[in-house]
Chain A
């Protein structure tokens, strides 16, 4: 399909460990248009951070399998070699805010100095010019520009996180990957960061991949939702559809476990725990915990397209 900003097709990544191969990302496909946000939700260990690292190609050395197609503006990023990817894509086109990024600021270097490094290196800007840009970026996220001369240890967690996000956006990337950007922050700080991301999204038409375990929070940004379970995307759906009517039994159970403030509901939970990614089951990976499982679930479920690119990976929707 033309016009897609990012299209990931059958992306697969395994890690080699002493215990065997960890199948962290298996045949993952999703796509987004320019200016859209896709939320990737799932529990810890489902492979969502690995997926992010596979897209930005910042992987540990023990990766044993890495294949699939990542079309970005129509170009397959997998065809680029390491040097081309580093020069043309990483940071300048696709930025990445890793989990707990607020701890990655160097405590003994002034905030401003850390923010302008990519500007000087990528755009060969003069230091003064770069500092001006950094000050402007700070103002936009509601931090006084005098903070350019502060050290990170003088700042609160929320401020640090906002600065990290501002830094990632300084060089005007087209796509930003946010891995749990607010997971260790307070409710009000979190809302503040969501506001900032929403307004940036509106102003600049930035595309985002928003990784989170918090389903309520994902609805603050998501135009599309991808639910990950044990290394696979089991449902990829439009936000309008997903939050009111999730299709995959795992999505449904997950939604049941979300406490809501404004409506009353009966809360549920999912007994058991996800399978090991070392030796995942042959068939549907959720079958063991699924209340709707039946005989066919012992075979690998097909990808059933709902409409357009959206799909669910479940035998319940197979027509026969």
Chain B
């Protein structure tokens, strides 16, 4: 397969927060030592609950934030600390699909203008070439017949159509990598699959790599090849999709998988095991394993003392947990 398209090593992003009026600086550790790889044409899923840092991770990978520490290698180039103006090529190679399509689209621009914008910024002067690309992008995301859509404003489109427009904009420069941050969580059940299938098609047809950020494990089963489970700013488990879903190892992953319902009338008779408590504050995460205050397998003197290492338990299945240490 050759070198991966994206290599992230021990990535950290801390936000500085001042406590009190003249208080001392504290840091919110939104991403704390994340490593991952993304092959060409591969889709990986980053799964975690709100506040776990998954969006910050996505934005840092896209270099919308400058990392505090660690390395990001994209296509063989180190982009970790590149200056804003040197990042222009990287912007062309990457795209972002946001969670809220309506919020991501400027309400005063027509569909044509929205799609032309990245082309103009990237110096495509010929109007005909731009028009061609706009048409091709709309065709790709199936906003057809194109004439019906091209002069509309975002508010005239349904939620699903808006999200398709966002995808068209993110992919109009034919980037090698797209970060899709909760692309369907605001959409209705019946159109979610349509949007996810569209992303998958882009992956297959144009060999695009996709980082699919979500809180919803059940969709990752169908739309990603590898899953990274994130908890309190760290990746606590990663494996190929079917391996992870069949043999979850980390107690947190197990808990997640256990509580996600499939439509089954017997669910209503079962009280499920749910770990007590809530994810920790990222300004002062607990010592040792960050899940230990909630963990059913907590080992006193081990889990609350030292941070667990990331262990390859079976081939390509990594867990950050003392149970396997």
Contact = CB atoms under 8 A, between A and B. Distances in A.
Contact of A219 (B158, B190, B219, B267): B267
Contacts of A269: 190-194, 197
Contacts of B221: 259, 261
| In the A-B complex, the 9 residue pairs with the closest CB atoms | A191-B259, A239-B265, A269-B194, A43-B188, A270-B190, A186-B49, A269-B193, A259-B218, A260-B262
A198 B268 contact: yes
B276 interface: yes
Given A213-B189, A216-B263, A255-B263, A191 B215 contact: no
A195 B265 contact: no
Contacts of B264: 219, 243
Interface string A170-188: 0000000000000000111
Interface residues of B, number: 39
A258 B158 contact: no
B278 A254 contact: no
Given A216-B261, A270-B190, A259 B219 contact: yes
B222 interface: yes
Interface of A: 37, 43-44, 142, 156, 158, 186-192, 194-195, 198-199, 213-223, 239-240, 242-244, 253-255, 257-263, 267-271, 273
A186 B50 contact: yes
B191 A219 contact: no
Contacts of B259: 187-188, 190-191
A282 B168 CA distance: 36
A214 B49 CA distance: 18
A258 B50 contact: no
Contacts of B197: 267, 269
A215 B192 CA distance: 13
Interface of B: 49-50, 158-160, 188-194, 197, 215-219, 221-222, 245, 255-257, 259-265, 267-268, 271-272, 274-276, 278
A40 B79 CA distance: 50
Contacts of A198: 268, 271
B276 to A, nearest CB: 7
Given A217-B261, A223-B268, 12 more contacts: A142-B276, A216-B263, A219-B268, A221-B268, A259-B222, A261-B245, A263-B262, A268-B193, A269-B191, A269-B194, A271-B194, A273-B158
Contacts of B160: 273
Given A142-B276, A187-B259, A220 B267 contact: yes
Contact of B189 (A190, A214, A261, A263): A214
B192 A188 contact: no
25 contacts: A37-B268, A186-B215, A187-B49, A187-B256, A188-B255, A188-B275, A190-B259, A191-B272, A198-B271, A214-B189, A215-B189, A215-B263, A217-B261, A243-B265, A253-B190, A254-B189, A258-B263, A259-B219, A261-B245, A261-B262, A262-B262, A263-B262, A267-B222, A269-B191, A271-B194
A192 B194 CA distance: 30
Nearest to B223: A259
A191 B192 contact: no
Contact of A222 (B193, B257, B265): B265
Nearest to B261: A216
Given A254-B189, A260-B218, A261-B221, A188 B268 contact: no
A257 B275 CA distance: 29
B101 to A, nearest CB: 14
